[in-house]
């Protein structure tokens, strides 16, 4: 039987150079293959640089703080309560250039791979490598 309840203190935290991720629901632990839910923390100066999920749609919900959110070549500032929809195979990035921590909730569908989350990093490719300096 699938696990039905997840207590905060039981959830694993994975740290990256751009912030922390808590996997709330992913296939390996839950058996759910239709979607993945993650809590993402971006400290001031943190970012999740330009990347894409080839076979996954995504929604990013800003719970607190704010981020400069890119979807393709479009950007906006997401404040608490705002969200961004990223269609599959669309390059996107989140940057916290602000003074407070940003808390995001991310949902990807469908789950892909053992953790449910697969990405292609394009941060060193043009136009993504220099797009922020042009905006």
- Average pLDDT (111-127) is 90
Residue 1 pLDDT > 70, yes or no? no
Confidence of residue 16 (pLDDT cuts 50, 70, 90): confident
Residue 23: what pLDDT? Answer: 87
d(CA 44, CA 132): 17
Residue 121: partners with Cβ closer than 8 Å, 6 or more residues away:
49, 50, 51
pLDDT digits (tens, 9 = 90+) for 36-93: 999 999 999 999 999 999 999 999 999 999 999 999 999 999 999 999 999 999 999 9
């Amino acid at each position: 039987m699938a696990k039905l309840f997840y207590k905060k203190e039981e959830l694993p935290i994975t740290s990256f150079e751009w912030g922390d991720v808590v996997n709330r629901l992913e296939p390996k632990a839950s058996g759910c293959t239709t979607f993945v839910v993650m809590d993402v923390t971006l400290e001031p100066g943190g970012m999740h640089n330009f990347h894409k999920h080839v076979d996954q749609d995504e929604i990013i919900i800003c719970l607190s703080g704010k981020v400069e959110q890119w979807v393709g070549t479009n950007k906006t500032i997401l404040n608490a309560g705002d969200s961004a929809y990223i269609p599959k195979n669309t390059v996107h990035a989140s940057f916290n250039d602000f003074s407070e921590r940003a808390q995001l909730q991310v949902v990807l569908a469908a789950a892909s791979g053992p953790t449910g989350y697969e990405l292609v990093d394009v941060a060193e490719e043009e136009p993504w490598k220099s797009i922020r300096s042009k905006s």
